[in-house]
A and B are shown apart, each in its own frame.
Chain A
Amino acid sequence: MLLPKFEFHEPESIEKALALKKQLNSGARFLAGGTDLLVYLKKKIVSTDHVISLQRIDGLGEIQENESNLFIGACTTMAAISRHPAVLKRFCALKSGADNMGTHLIRNRATIGGNVCNASPAGDTLPALLVYDAVALVESPDGKREIPLTDFFKGPGKTDLKNDDILTGFRLPYPPDHSGAHYIQLGKRKSAEINVVNAASFLTCEPGTSNILSARIALGSVAPTPIRAPEAEAALMGRTAGDDTFNAAAETARFKDCSPIDDFRGSAAYRRAMVGVLTKRTLAEAFDQARA
């Protein structure tokens, strides 16, 4: 299996990248780490005559700590995310998503923008980005726009991006005090694993009590896209955190929020059952952090 021939472009600014893309028409593909795109090209799932690398564009690979939020450039690698102090301090569920992805070699190349644009229902960073209320920042020849991540995914491999759009990065609001979040991926082996199911939860509690002020749950591999679990989240709002509450939310997520299918990685029945277990476990861990 050989990589097919294509022209390779390395623009040094977003403007140049956008201009190139427009000039080359829809035939061109953006390349970040290439860990999805090159596989698709080799396997002839995707074909293209032009590949436009985003790697030389300044700022796309950066993480910036702003006043009230963290900016993560689209071309930031999993390895860089996983060791960034701000991520370690405030976004541990994202760190664990990045750590779970593939192998060391993959994590050194794979970017968060690529993971999001690839829009796999199983993508390892997606549940965490969803529960941290990330906003995707997009530039096109027509200007800049912002897409909340909850509106970003449209189907397996399908996103809200238009053909000319470049995803430049994400804005993640800093979680308030007394909050916590956790991510678990469940697979057949202990690493280099494509999940059977994954889940992330985020909780904020009223200071000094166990009252839940806000809750977000995201689930992967149990619907055509990674999803939030609105029914389960509603079941948590205003309740007192604890096993019973979490069990109830887990049951709701399991039976109301997800729509898994059978495939060669696992059956719908098992996935559904695991949504319950993972929801409960991520909530319990998030709560432990929130009251710590």
Chain B
Amino acid sequence: MKSYDVISTRANRIDTPDKATGKAVFVDDITLPGMLYGALLQSPHAHAKILSIDTSEAEKLPGVKAVITAKEAGQVKYGVSPARYDETVFAVDRVRYVGDEIAAVAATRLDIALEAVSRIQVEYEVLPAVFTVEDAVKDGAPQLHDEFKGNLCAEVHQEFGNVAEGLENSDIVITTEMKSKRQDGAFIEMQGCIAEYDNRGVLTLTSSTQVPHYVQRTVAMVLGMDVGKVRVKKPYVGAGFGIKAAANPMELACCMLARKTKKPVKMNFTREQVFMYGRARHRFHHTITTGAKKDGTLMALKHECWLDGGAYTSFGIATVYYTGSLLGGPYKLANMSYDGYRVYNNKPACGAQRGHGAVIARACFEQQLDMIAEKIGMDPLELRIKNMMETGDTTCNDLNMSSFGMAECIEAVRNGSDWDKKKGHMPPGKGIGMACGFFVSGAGYPIYRSDTFHGTVIVKLTEDGGTALVYTASAEIGQGSDTAFAMIAAEALGIPLENVRLASGDTDMGVDLGAYSSRQTLMTGHATKEAAENVRRQVLEVLAEQLNVAVEKMDIRNGFIEFDGDTPDFSTLRTRYIKEHRGWTDNPDSDKLTFKEASRIAFLERGSIVGTGKYKPHSLGGKFKGAAVGTSPAYGCSAQVAEVTVDMDTGQITIDKITDAHDCGKAINMTSVEGQMEGSISMGIGEAMHEEVIFDNQGRVLNDDLAEYKIVTTMDMPRVKTIVVESDEPNGPFGAKEVGEGAIMPTIPAILNAVYDAAGVRVYELPLTPERVFHAIQEYRERNKATA
């Protein structure tokens, strides 16, 4: 076993003191001299032609500095994936959902900007609208985009192995459906941004984003600017969960207003606008058929899914592929087919959210595993063990598990939950259920086709010696990535965490694709490690020259230089160091040569010591269409056991306990790993139990606040027992991989399986509101009465 000094501990997060004392600066805390406030005009109609826009009354209002529409903004199409750029900043001649952006105003005060927005006169011709997948694919349905006939945004058809044959050779074949509801990320900080345009033509956007890099590219493209003249940075961000993983129209409008007025402009979404803008998890409708042998061997999986996409593509192409590609594992399965369809309609676009594309498919499939287990009289946990993949296995769609502690996870939750004692022995109304899952540690490819490095990092030693500065363009959005990279840098360099200072989230610092697909720990982590090792080598090289000791005979640990064998006489170096620091109180007197002395000497010999690091995955995946989506240099995996109580008269469910084991490779910061596990469970519970964005028949969100959109409260959170399983991932820095999204995979099906165990009912639609569960129980009782 390697021993570590910094990683694998429970280090205090470097942002905690600022956040706990209110010192952390978020976009809305920032005010700049001469700053203007922007506001958006958004469509009140779900589908309409714009006949005319008259901004003259708005422009007349004192305090208004700029009003822009598609006329000024131009018609550059953008989106997430270049294959489907289907949005413009402002609607050109048609609006496609309630909230579609039409114009923006900048004024000296927010109330003036809002008043100006209300004075913009738009003449609409209201068009028939469609709101559901079923209606949107009907003949004669209103069409959203001329290029995509039948409102079909994207379709995917894949088959691996021979599914028909696999099902034929199965003893048990189970087909079920699963329907979910549109989610909202419900992050605490609404999107907000400030754009500045300086006298030299440089645009700086400070935004609450997960992806400064992609926003920079989109801003440059849409505004027709040189990428080098666009800088995007993020202050502290109150989470994103995927919704902030692409440029939004407010950011673009804000940049345009700043360029036009030459003044800083600030814009914010209200909570209502967050709901109106959407881009969170799609509503899925899955039909899955799974075949198995009598001994429990899984034979084939046939999967069809319809995704309710909303008005634009957003992340949808990736979503519809992920939905299929991340299902078969973590089980050995030779035959798998997938037919996915993403459908446009007149609601806000859906996009990516924690567990991108894969969460509801898993909720469907993992229930079927329990049904198969029940049919053949096998413990569902044993059925999973029987089929589970192992380190080195590759799925039928070419995803390679370079490390895979699935067996350890299952055993951990078996013991941690006392499964063997409880399963089959729960009192009436109480139940226990389990499920497994896996997820990428970073998408194998960038969203736009490119050979780019996915992350670059610069480490620089301060010239006085002793402190390492880490510069990364990665995005700390609350998940703890800054702390993780500071820890990785400290470990790789051999110095204490407190001697590392880190700055992140700024495109001036390099390239980093950002916080999505659970990529940063592995990818940015690699680049950080490489940069720190580079700096370490430079310092040791100077020492080698000065002390005449081979580089390989030296090491840096805990801020001291360690020598293989005898410590050479370093008094000349120490004297040289101390001479320069007469009167200083902290001159070294240790038996060992300090890193501080060594790095100062390195500077004196070589000038500033700067190291760079970079990372991009090796070539991954198969050759078929869409093979890239789902690839990753590594996969995290997890198992969860849920214990529930069902009130048989009201249908109310109480989740009593969740036992969660997750293989995250090497845990960089144990506490942060557990935080991600608990956070994932909380989000999974919300989706399973009560979260659902509800629309009226005009396409307006009915529950656009956090009173009526019901996320989990502390009172809904069960006791969570987290068990961190550490495998050694060969493709991860220090063996680390993901925990941010994989941990949500088993939550919903574990709850569903526990509800079945408690109440005898299978529910094929989410959320599990008391009412839905009550009706399921009533039906079950009727059925049993009929057969009794």
Contact = CB atoms under 8 A, between A and B. Distances in A.
A191 B703 CA distance: 17
A190 interface: yes
A191 B114 CA distance: 35
Interface string B459-474: 0000000000000000
Contacts of A274: 650
Interface stretch (A60-68, A144-152, A215-223, A263-271): A263-271
Nearest to A270: B771
B707 A192 contact: yes
Kindly state the interface size class of chain B when it binds its partner.
20 to 34
Given A186-B770, A270-B774, 10 more contacts: A1-B270, A103-B713, A186-B650, A188-B770, A189-B690, A189-B713, A190-B654, A191-B714, A273-B774, A277-B649
A258 to B, nearest CB: 16
Contacts, number: 51
List the 9 closest A-B pairs by CB distance, nearest first. A190-B715, A191-B715, A270-B771, A188-B690, A277-B649, A191-B713, A190-B716, A1-B270, A264-B694
B694 A189 contact: no
Interface in B747-788: 767, 769-771, 774-775
Among A1, A103, A188, A191, the one with the most B-chain Cβ atoms within 10 Å of its Cβ is A188
A192 B713 contact: yes
Interface of B: 110-111, 114, 270, 272, 649-650, 652, 654, 689-690, 694, 702-703, 707-708, 710, 712-716, 767, 769-771, 774-775
Contacts of A37: none
Nearest to B774: A270
Contacts of A186: 650, 652, 770
Interface of A: 1-2, 103, 186, 188-194, 196, 264, 266-267, 270, 273-274, 277
B708 A189 contact: no
A101 to B, nearest CB: 12
Given A2-B111, A188-B689, A188-B690, A266 B771 contact: yes
A270 B649 CA distance: 11
Nearest to A184: B650
Contacts of A194: 707-708
B272 A191 contact: no
A267 B771 contact: yes
A194 B689 CA distance: 15
A271 to B, nearest CB: 9
Contacts of A1: 270, 272
Contacts of A267: 771
A277 B707 contact: no
Nearest to A106: B707
Nearest to B695: A264
Interface of B is mostly: loop
30 contacts: A1-B270, A1-B272, A2-B110, A2-B111, A2-B114, A103-B713, A186-B652, A186-B770, A188-B690, A188-B767, A188-B770, A189-B690, A189-B710, A189-B712, A189-B716, A190-B654, A190-B715, A190-B716, A191-B713, A191-B715, A191-B716, A192-B707, A192-B713, A194-B708, A196-B770, A266-B769, A270-B770, A270-B774, A273-B774, A277-B650
B597 to A, nearest CB: 54
Among B654, B702, B770, the one with the most A-chain Cβ atoms within 10 Å of its Cβ is B770
B771 A196 contact: yes
A270 B775 contact: yes
Contacts of B111: 2
A31 to B, nearest CB: 20
Contacts of B702: 264
A264 B694 CA distance: 8
A46 B402 CA distance: 61
Nearest to B273: A1
Contacts of A273: 774
B703 A264 contact: yes
Nearest to B778: A273
Contacts of B710: 188-189, 193
Contacts of B114: 2
A267 B703 CA distance: 16
Given A1-B270, A2-B114, A277-B650, A190 B713 contact: yes
A80 to B, nearest CB: 22
A192 B686 CA distance: 14
A196 B690 CA distance: 13
Among A103, A266, A267, A270, the one with the most B-chain Cβ atoms within 10 Å of its Cβ is A270
Contacts of A103: 713
Contacts of B769: 188, 266
Nearest to A103: B713
B329 to A, nearest CB: 32
B774 A189 contact: no
Contacts of B694: 264
A51 to B, nearest CB: 18
A125 B570 CA distance: 78
Nearest to B650: A277
A35 to B, nearest CB: 11
Contacts of B713: 103, 189-192
Contacts of A189: 689-690, 710, 712-713, 715-716
